[in-house]
Amino acid sequence: MTATESEVFAPHLDASSAPAAVEVLSAEKTYPDGTQALLPVDLRIAEGEFITLLGPSGCGKSTLLKMVAGMLEPTDGRLLLWRRPVQQIEQTGRKMAFVFQAPTLMPWASVQTNVRLPLDLAGVPRKEADARVADALALVGLSKFASALPRALSGGMQMRVSIARGLVTEPDLLLMDEPFGALDEITRHKLDADLLELWRKKKLTVIFVTHSIHEAVFLSSRVVMMAARPGRVVEEFIIDEPYPRNADFMVSPQFARHAKRLQDSLMRASSLNEAEETA
């Protein structure tokens, strides 16, 4: 790591003064079958933050993320990206990418073709597209696998391809729905660390969904805790620890302190569900 890359970075200190990338304004969601997935949520996410949505199953994490992505309409309320409605993101000159839990790669196409897909869809000329694909593959450490088919890659490598496909459009906002949930712990730690590097290098704003308290503490500048039935935001935690964060951070007393606070909060959020289920 170079001296510049290792400079201390503390987005939680700037979050109140930095421009808003995402504003969720009393946005709520009831599905057509009557499921009340999300009570009104208010959330301001500043440029450069790494936000994690954490909470028990069914608390509306994916629903909220998909509303930010414009993949789902709120039943009421509004969502703004750089002060414009989500559907008008093009007019802001910013870009957003969504990375799903499963890599969802085309099995018959090479890694390179899979990563190029968003550029092909956008009509980017082939030469420029190939150069950007090469950059994205280098970022995730897969340059040597450009011609491979997905089935020749491990689960962790397939997930890297999926991340490269997200990064190839050079997004400002990266939305990730439990991207590493299906991977073994070692691979997950490695990808978490790589993701933090990318986030800092590319000055991204990230919203990340996970079930893992440890992943949330390691990655986030802020954690948004949610509870279910109906889904809602119940607490927020600033993880006021500087970056870069490394393996030493994970065994530090500060890490344990944050993890304990999140654990207690998650227990409260989960017991809210149980209390309501038995009432």
Ligand X SMILES: Nc1ncnc2c1ncn2[C@@H]1O[C@H](COP(=O)(O)OP(=O)(O)OP(=O)(O)O)[C@@H](O)[C@H]1O
* Comparison of 37 and 196: residue with beta carbon closer to ligand X: 37
**Six-digit token string for 91:** 């007019």
* Comparison of 84 and 268: residue with beta carbon closer to ligand X: 268
Rule CB under 6 A: choose which of 22, 59, 163, 175 binds ligand X.
Answer: 59
Regarding 277 and contact with ligand X (CB under 6 A), the answer is no
> Is the separation of the CB atoms in 194 and 239 below 8 Å?
no
Reported as type and span, the H/E element at residue 223 is strand 222-227
The 230-259 site mask, x for binding ligand X (CB under 6 A), equals -x----------------------------
Of the candidate spans 50-58, 127-135, 191-199, 270-278, the one that interacts with ligand X by CB under 6 A turns out to be 50-58
**Six-digit token string for 263:** 């654990």
The SS3 call for residue 231 is: coil
Q: Which residue has the tokens 């208010």?
A: 42
Query: How many whole angstroms separate alpha carbon 6 and alpha carbon 212?
Result: 26
Regarding 276 and contact with ligand X (CB under 6 A), the answer is no
Of the candidate spans 60-68, 121-129, 146-154, 198-206, the one that interacts with ligand X by CB under 6 A turns out to be 60-68
Of the candidate spans 28-36, 41-49, 105-113, 158-166, the one that interacts with ligand X by CB under 6 A turns out to be 28-36
Q: Which residues pair with 96 in a beta bridge?
A: 173
CB neighbours of residue 126 within 10 Å: 10
Of the candidate spans 61-69, 79-87, 141-149, 257-265, the one that interacts with ligand X by CB under 6 A turns out to be 61-69
Q: How far is the CB of 31 from ligand X (least distance, A)?
A: 3
Regarding 27 and contact with ligand X (CB under 6 A), the answer is no
Order of strands, edge to edge, in the sheet holding 232-238?
A: 96-99, 173-177, 205-210, 50-54, 222-227, 232-238
- Contacts of ligand X in 173-232 (CB under 6 A): 231
Q: How far is the CB of 26 from ligand X (least distance, A)?
A: 18
Dihedral angle over CA of 208, 213, 217, 222, nearest 10 = 50
- Contacts of ligand X in 113-152 (CB under 6 A): none
Regarding 40 and contact with ligand X (CB under 6 A), the answer is no
Q: What are phi and psi of 123, to 5 degrees?
A: 75, 25
Rule CB under 6 A: choose which of 17, 57, 90, 107 binds ligand X.
Answer: 57
Q: What are phi and psi of 240, to 5 degrees?
A: -85, 60
Regarding 41 and contact with ligand X (CB under 6 A), the answer is no
Reported as type and span, the H/E element at residue 101 is none
| Site for ligand X, rule CB under 6 A | 31, 33, 35, 37, 55, 57-63, 231
